Structure 1
């Protein structure tokens, strides 16, 4: 049935009678296009018929497109076509042709009639169209109303039928539901009876097999029902319980249990988790513990008719708990004794549980608040936290059940501490981390002790290695020393024997004596180096600093080395224009420094090579440079160059001799002068350069050295003619050597082999100078000098004595001077040095 809205929509869709456009299904472009097309066709036809029409009815044919346009396109299409056709007829068919002007009144009438007719056709056609549309609209509305009424009545009929059918269906459903309810009730009753029987059987089976004790007592506290477990607990069969009272079967607990049971019967208030302690007839003397609950039993009217009892024996649990508590106490005592803290971490809740000791380890400021993983992480040293995380990640990835780890923490009061932590890891059913329990201990002191032990161990290893190295170096040094001492001794001994043979030629004799002299100097230098090193090691070497010009010192050292350079074929060049540089130093030690460097350069420079020595001032320092074209120094050996006993080649096949002491002596002597020494070399075969830098002395305070070494004064023209000299030495060879040297310089020499003989000689002869050894048997040189002075006390000339001795240490020299000797000359000595020294003393006295 059509609704009012549908009827309204149908009326809106019906054509309207006042519409002036094209008819239904037509559009303006179609209407105008068709009118124009028909007009053009008529115009063409009219032109084609013009010869036969001869100007008659010129506009009549044009009414056809007007009619077609009005019929197809409506009023406005008809009007448009009328105007257009009138315009074309005026231009094409009315005289004058091709003009908009009409001369003939007849043609004007024709044009006016055409326009009126066209307009009339358009208007009439529009009215007829509107009448048709109105009729159609009225017919359509009537039809719609009729259809709507039919639909309405059909709907009412269908609704009435549906209502009656629904009522019938409802009645049928109610009947069926009643039947189903009845059947279900019957089935439920049967099922409930079966369930009740099954539950009763299950209850009976559960009651009988329950792992805890169950029983029912009546108001007289007699057993009405009991299961097997409680009978086993009491140690009496189930049948023996029925009808008997608590006091009859369990007299040991009756005094405690009966008052409580009667109170339940009176008040109806249950008692839960009551702990009873006592004995049973089955196990007399054994203390038993039971956990019991009592509930009142009521009938249908609510009257209390008995008591339900639930009993569980917890004797083993209590014993285990006591043992666990005792074990926990022992563990706590052990942890306290070890100062270890206990902790537990629950992953799900992110909560820690710590013991008091654990708080002491990490800081008490973490107490009294929930403790989480972030709190623990905040205490761990940032440098150790990644390793701790990685270690735990590895263990959990491998599902390992335990862990142990050491890390540092930052204690708020104690600072950095070492913690050793170990424990157990628990995982859930999915294998994820669930819980960790462990203990922690402060091992800071142990760590320090371990580090100290490690340090001591490393120190001991280093010391052992150093001792082994020193021992090797000592063995190598002793072997080298033996070689260096034996080699010149062999030459001295060999040539000494050769020159004693009869018939030796003069040139061979001169060569032998030169060899003996050169090797004797070498021996003396080796001994001096050993003594200097001994003083350096003992810290007893010293220098006598005074303002000193370096130029004469450097020149003297060069001259002392020139002979050995010429013998080897090495060109030795001194400073071309030596600067006047003054330093505060010891002239003898400064010459020793230069001599060592120059002789070392000559030793390592092959024949045809060159050694250059330069002296200049750079800023506030003096620089002595010794450069050679020798074999060079390996880069890896440069850091060890100035160490004692170190040689680049210490093998038995080495090409150069020496003890490896010269450069170490140079370094120490330079340091005593406040300077530095360094070496440079580009490698093997490229030579080496040694530089000594010393602080300068103000020029106005400097003066030539007052204590030049013997080599500077070796050629002093001194004469000892007529000087009476007493030579005292217990060694005949030394005594004869001194006598021969002095006699060559015209001195009058007498000798004594002991101090006593010297006293006798001095008493019987006039003596100008005394040359005495120090170490002699019975009376040494010091005692001799004291005795001579005592004998001449106030009588005669003052005793002028020179000590010539093998005791060559600085302290030996100081002792000799303090004892009264005017000079101290160490053996071996240069003969010229002795002559020069005695000549100077003669002049001074």
Structure 2
């Protein structure tokens, strides 16, 4: 462009700009004047020919001259530019200027391209900006101290400013250029819709918003943020920008959630306590009813029998009714005693191989007359007549008698009850199925709880205490079995299935079929021989008489030579005697939780012995504790294997066979 001075322009420059002039592309002053030089100690005409950036005016800071040089080069390249610079007026005064530079063709110099420059003082503005920046830094520092990040979002330009703390909260590096869209991209998918709604409402109405949302960091960890902001409107009411704050609240959220969980646990415990009290009240009401009803019948007929005149038919009916009522009371008392034994852990089982078919047949024959008297059809079917299980025949009979009795209670006349038994390779499934009242989905999970009899509004009209199914479940588990209840709902009947492991001898019969080479070499196939532990010498250490007796009988059935003792002291004595007679056991199976001295202490004492006295005998920990820490402790103390109670037939045999390898 061409540039020339006129009087009006000069007057304008003198009033608006503190100085102005021209320079060559080499940055040397060609002309310079302005009102600022009235306050300087230098005549501007003396600077003609000097490099402008090297004059005294630009020496107020180390980089001011460098900034001027950069502005000159930029003007040459682009045609014009601006720069904010410090200008040293004199030793005591420094001002801030905004220097504008523009390339022009100087006609007086034959059209040579030169740079015109003019400076406007912006000291007041710069000081205000500096003051604002200082206050902003103070605010940012205070916010950062409170772990709060500040942000500002310009809608039209999408400019986004974030403090260092804000970038940290948004999982960005300090040098990263953060945008609001980038922040939105890390918001948890489940929280984006609610955050979008809050932002849109704020933008539409200029309202404040406050929302908690989750964000996903680059390491895939989730964090809770509390986000607050407000949309600022221009004079026409149009949304202009948004400013706000953000902070992490993960710990607060975790504390709140934990408090909620504590409350729920406390509420659950309180509800369970209230349910227990209600169940006790209901139990007392049922016991009162069940005891008084047969007693009333017995006393009534007894008074009639004591009378002088009674017909033979009435006498016979009276005796039969008294017998029936007495048996009902006997059953009631038996259930109460069994419940007490279970609660105290004193229920004793006489475990031995039992033909379950004969047990089920006995249950069928004993219950058949009772079902016929109520016009209910009872059926029994089994896929074989030799079903060998390891158990207590009396208690097994009690299990299935209780299940049939329970089915009969809730089956109307002309209904059907079916007992069926089906074998697999390792277990037998016995089902008792009826087409009676059925069980509602709400009550199905609680059928094995004590004192539960379906709908309590009507259960007072049913005989019994509601202990039968609870006892059935416990007895099934004591036989290393399990039980489940199924029903499609009210009026659709119910099915109870008891699953019991088969005895080794029975499994041996069922496994005579050809097997693959891999199966023949598998350790588990040893059970097919029926005597998997033949001649293995085992020392059992167990303080519970029932548990010790059951385990000993089972291991002896598997071919082992077993000696059992009830304490750690007795175990040490047994080892010393065995060492003296050179007949040490091959494996030790020891309980952990024993009085006086526990299994951990016992194995430490054993490991302190020399090998010839039993110090190297492999040992298996047998315990009801199933936590990983208990297992680790057992291994650290000197056990080679860990088996959780109740013992599982296959598992305990495999553990013993494997433990022998450590010897």
User: Could you tell me the TM-score, scaled by structure 2's length?
Assistant: 0.52
- Looking at structure 2, the residues matched to 696 and 569 of structure 1 have their Cα atoms a distance apart, in angstroms, of 35
Q: Is the 8 A contact 2:426 2:507 kept in 1?
A: no
Query: Which of 213, 216, 241 is residue 435 of structure 1 equivalent to?
Result: 241
- Distance of aligned partners of 1:520 and 1:320 in 2 relative to their CA distance in 1, 3 Å threshold: farther
Q: Is the 8 A contact 1:632 1:686 kept in 2?
A: yes
- Looking at structure 1, the residues matched to 197 and 236 of structure 2 have their Cα atoms a distance apart, in angstroms, of 21
Q: Secondary structure at the match of 2:160?
A: strand
- Looking at structure 1, the residues matched to 178 and 380 of structure 2 have their Cα atoms a distance apart, in angstroms, of 84
Q: Secondary structure at the match of 2:499?
A: strand
Does residue 532 of the first structure (1) align with residue 338 of the second (2)? yes
Q: CA deviation at 1:680?
A: 5.3
Q: Is the 8 A contact 1:549 1:702 kept in 2?
A: no
- Looking at structure 1, the residues matched to 434 and 186 of structure 2 have their Cα atoms a distance apart, in angstroms, of 65
Q: Is the 8 A contact 2:376 2:415 kept in 1?
A: yes
Query: Which of 396, 403, 407 is residue 597 of structure 1 equivalent to?
Result: 403
- Distance of aligned partners of 1:326 and 1:669 in 2 relative to their CA distance in 1, 3 Å threshold: same
Where does residue 164 of structure 2 map in the other structure?
Answer: 356
Residue deviations 1:270-301, cap 9 Å, x none? x99999xxxxxxxxxxxxxxx999xxxxxxxx
Query: Which of 473, 479, 482 is residue 673 of structure 1 equivalent to?
Result: 479
Q: Is the 8 A contact 2:415 2:434 kept in 1?
A: yes
Q: CA deviation at 1:678?
A: 4.2
More helix by share: 1
Residue deviations 1:158-215, cap 9 Å, x none? xxxxxxxxxxxxxxxxxxxxxxxxxxxxxxxxxxxxxxxxxxxxxxxxx9xxxxxxxx
Q: Is the 8 A contact 1:582 1:702 kept in 2?
A: no
- Looking at structure 2, the residues matched to 676 and 652 of structure 1 have their Cα atoms a distance apart, in angstroms, of 29
Where does residue 549 of structure 1 map in the other structure?
Answer: 355
Q: Is the 8 A contact 2:206 2:239 kept in 1?
A: no
Does residue 452 of the first structure (1) align with residue 287 of the second (2)? no
In the TM superposition, 1:459-478 aligns within 5 A as 459-478=265-284
Quote the RMSD (CA, aligned, Å): 4.7
User: Could you tell me the TM-score, scaled by structure 1's length?
Assistant: 0.42
Q: Is the 8 A contact 1:548 1:702 kept in 2?
A: no
- Distance of aligned partners of 1:262 and 1:692 in 2 relative to their CA distance in 1, 3 Å threshold: closer
Q: CA deviation at 1:485?
A: 2.0
- Distance of aligned partners of 1:446 and 1:580 in 2 relative to their CA distance in 1, 3 Å threshold: same
Q: CA deviation at 1:438?
A: 1.4
- Distance of aligned partners of 1:338 and 1:517 in 2 relative to their CA distance in 1, 3 Å threshold: farther
Where does residue 217 of structure 2 map in the other structure?
Answer: 411
Q: Secondary structure at the match of 1:583?
A: strand
- Looking at structure 1, the residues matched to 175 and 491 of structure 2 have their Cα atoms a distance apart, in angstroms, of 79
Query: How many pairs are equivalent?
Result: 416
Does residue 391 of the first structure (1) align with residue 198 of the second (2)? yes
Q: Is the 8 A contact 1:544 1:586 kept in 2?
A: yes
Where does residue 498 of structure 2 map in the other structure?
Answer: 692
Q: Is the 8 A contact 2:202 2:231 kept in 1?
A: no
Where does residue 367 of structure 2 map in the other structure?
Answer: 561
Q: CA deviation at 1:593?
A: 0.8
- Looking at structure 1, the residues matched to 176 and 298 of structure 2 have their Cα atoms a distance apart, in angstroms, of 95
Q: CA deviation at 1:643?
A: 3.6
In the TM superposition, 1:79-228 aligns within 5 A as none
- Distance of aligned partners of 1:410 and 1:623 in 2 relative to their CA distance in 1, 3 Å threshold: closer
Q: Is the 8 A contact 1:543 1:586 kept in 2?
A: yes
Does residue 663 of the first structure (1) align with residue 663 of the second (2)? no
Larger Rg: 1
More strand by share: 2
- Distance of aligned partners of 1:444 and 1:562 in 2 relative to their CA distance in 1, 3 Å threshold: same
- Looking at structure 2, the residues matched to 528 and 618 of structure 1 have their Cα atoms a distance apart, in angstroms, of 34
Q: Is the 8 A contact 1:351 1:370 kept in 2?
A: no
Does residue 483 of the first structure (1) align with residue 289 of the second (2)? yes
- Distance of aligned partners of 1:346 and 1:682 in 2 relative to their CA distance in 1, 3 Å threshold: closer
Q: CA deviation at 1:444?
A: 0.9
Where does residue 179 of structure 2 map in the other structure?
Answer: 372
Q: Is the 8 A contact 1:628 1:687 kept in 2?
A: yes
Where does residue 34 of structure 1 map in the other structure?
Answer: none
Q: Secondary structure at the match of 1:598?
A: helix
1 or 2 for the larger relative contact order (CA 8 Å, sep ≥6)? 2
- Looking at structure 2, the residues matched to 406 and 563 of structure 1 have their Cα atoms a distance apart, in angstroms, of 69
Q: Secondary structure at the match of 2:462?
A: coil
Q: CA deviation at 1:676?
A: 3.8
Q: Secondary structure at the match of 1:651?
A: helix
Instruction: Could you tell me which runs of 5 or more consecutive residues in structure 1 were left unpaired when the two chains were aligned.
Output: 1-206, 208-259, 276-290, 294-309, 704-845
